[in-house]
Amino acid sequence: MGLRAIADEIYQHQITAQELDKITLRYDGLTVDDAYAIQQLTIQKYTNQGDRLIGWKMGLTSKAKQQSVGVDEAIFGHLLESMELTNPEISLKGLIHPRVEPEIAFVFKHRLEGTHITARDVWLATECVMPAVEVIDSRYKNFSFTLVDVIADNASSAKFYVADQAFSPYQFQLDKLGVVMCRNGEVAQTGAGAAVLGHPVRSIIEQVHMLSRIGKAIEPGMVVLTGGITEAIYIYDQDTISVEFEGMGDIELSVH
């Protein structure tokens, strides 16, 4: 079975929100490179239908997240225009078993590419940082997958919301930034920016290095989600999820 056929299958399950058996159970010998090729082929199907690539996301950048899904390396995915919520409201329609997680988003004014990127390069290219939440929704049964499966499924990407207020990248020490996520007023998860590879800037560095292996870059105007600061929590109809980013304000996400 070719990679294109696997991409077609995953795409169908993504757009119809139907669960899927792990591809690694059904196809032998798939590599991480194959998985990124499948991811790119599925994304082309969206862009062929008029969707647009607006950025990238890193995933599994924290030890807690890696342990909870049993995968021990960081991954990346594509962010499409159709995934972005313009208001902090999410409909469960079209989602299988969604979970939400707090993230720091970087927005870029300059191109970033190459294999020897430093934190300095990242700050020079960054226009602003913004609080964000990502709603992930693995297409695999029971949210269970291997590294290859999750990469092929665009790193479980489903929806994301970036807050209204932008901040200078120099205003906060992002590794020290505390985050509290509540569901219906009860604390569900807490964390700090350092959970993301020690500092969210390291996630951008890793993103650029991974992209450069496939000849891609962070382009001006793009947004990059640096990875969940805490474990993701399941969301249910009528939930209100509020995430406080210390000093940066709150995001209140309504689920219906």
**Interacting residue ranges for Mg ion, rule: CB under 5 A:** 134, 228
Instruction: Pick between residue 158 and residue 182 the one whose CB is nearest to ligand OOG.
Output: 158
Tell which one of 35, 106, 133, 134 touches ligand OOG (CB under 6 A).
Answer: 134
Instruction: Pick between residue 9 and residue 77 the one whose CB is nearest to Mg ion.
Output: 77
Q: Is 231 in the site for ligand OOG (CB under 6 A)?
A: no
235 binds, among ligand OOG, Mg ion, none (CB under 5 to 8 A by kind): none
Q: Is 10 in the site for ligand OOG (CB under 6 A)?
A: no
Q: Is 60 in the site for ligand OOG (CB under 6 A)?
A: yes
Angle at 168 between CA 166 and CA 173, to 5 degrees: 110
197 binds, among ligand OOG, Mg ion, none (CB under 5 to 8 A by kind): none
100 binds, among Mg ion, ligand OOG, none (CB under 5 to 8 A by kind): none
Count Cα neighbours of 170 within 13 Å in the Cβ-side half-sphere.
4
How far is the CA of 74 from the CAs of 36, 151, 172, 206, in angstroms? 13, 10, 24, 9
Q: Is 59 in the site for ligand OOG (CB under 6 A)?
A: yes
146 binds, among Mg ion, ligand OOG, none (CB under 5 to 8 A by kind): none
Q: How far is the CB of 227 from ligand OOG (least distance, A)?
A: 4
Instruction: Pick between residue 4 and residue 21 the one whose CB is nearest to ligand OOG.
Output: 21
112 binds, among Mg ion, ligand OOG, none (CB under 5 to 8 A by kind): none
Q: How far is the CB of 43 from ligand OOG (least distance, A)?
A: 16
How far is the CA of 217 from the CAs of 24, 120, 121, 151, in angstroms? 28, 17, 13, 18
Report how far Cα 239 is from the mean position of its chain's Cα atoms. Answer: 21
Q: Is 193 in the site for ligand OOG (CB under 6 A)?
A: no
How far is the CA of 70 from the CAs of 62, 134, 157, in angstroms? 12, 20, 18
Binding site for ligand OOG (CB under 6 A): 59-61, 65, 69, 101, 134, 136, 138, 150, 155-156, 227-228
